[in-house]
Amino acid sequence: MRLQQYINESILDKGILKACFMAGSSASGKSYVISKISSGQIEPRIVNTDTWTEFFKAYSSESWAKNMDKVRHLTKKQLVLFLNSMLPLWIDGTSSNPSSLMRRNGILKSIGYDTSMIWVDINLDTALKRSEERERPVPPETIREIYKKIEKLKPYYTKDFDNFMVIDNNEGELTDKAILKAFKKMKRFFDAPIENPIGKQLVKEMVAKGWKYLLDGKYDIGYLKRLVGTWYIS
């Protein structure tokens, strides 16, 4: 797998400096929702450790601890590339940890990103059932604990994100009509002009100077690595 395949080539590409956080209980179906509402024209990159975890699980015989060290290293390296190119992002995970999520939101805003949140809503019984059906089920007590914590955070996230949308992923609720509505709303978000004043000024400066990437002159590699290092503090 080549990391360079994730890079776009133009400062004027649609979707740059746009990121959407996916929130909801474990087994709520966040990855499934992403697959249903993604546009073929703009392809936000998914930020989580799952890609590399599954890769090493399938192709490596090393111990889990050694593989996790590699997963963390490659995930960080990948995110540096994403940010350098200002790519559109899906941020998957950490919604049960508000300090971590808001720190990541702050990092993105500080370099010019507009951010939004999709809350994938399911009831506890559905979460437990879907977890049991997974190849690697989460213990029921963990599901219950996370679910309880997440439900308390929902009003907080609603207030903190101007672009906030709830998608009901209970049995039978994610209909074609619901998917189309969510798809259109997220397409508008990723297509819209950048609203963040930092992002607006950044693009103006980069276009004027002929830069395509942040590392062309705005930041050095050490700065982006430090940002990503802060991103992955628990």
Domain CATH code at residue 206: 3.40.50.300
Give pLDDT, residue 20.
96
- pLDDT tens digits for range 190-207: 999 999 999 999 999 999
Q: What total number of domains does the chain contain?
A: 1
Torsion over CA: 52, 58, 63, 64 (sign): positive
Q: Supply the Cα-derived Rg of the chain in whole angstroms.
A: 18
- pLDDT tens digits for range 119-134: 999 999 999 999 998 8
Distance CA 142, CA 122 (A): 16
Domain residue limits at 224: 3-231
Predicted structure pTM score: 0.87
Measured over all CA atoms, what is the biggest interatomic distance in the chain, rounded to whole angstroms? Answer: 55
Give pLDDT, residue 164.
94
Torsion angles phi and psi, residue 204, rounded to 5: -60, -45
Give pLDDT, residue 56.
67
Average pLDDT per 10 consecutive residues for the chain, totaling 234 residues = 46 90 90 85 82 63 70 87 95 84 94 96 93 86 91 90 93 93 93 96 95 95 95 80
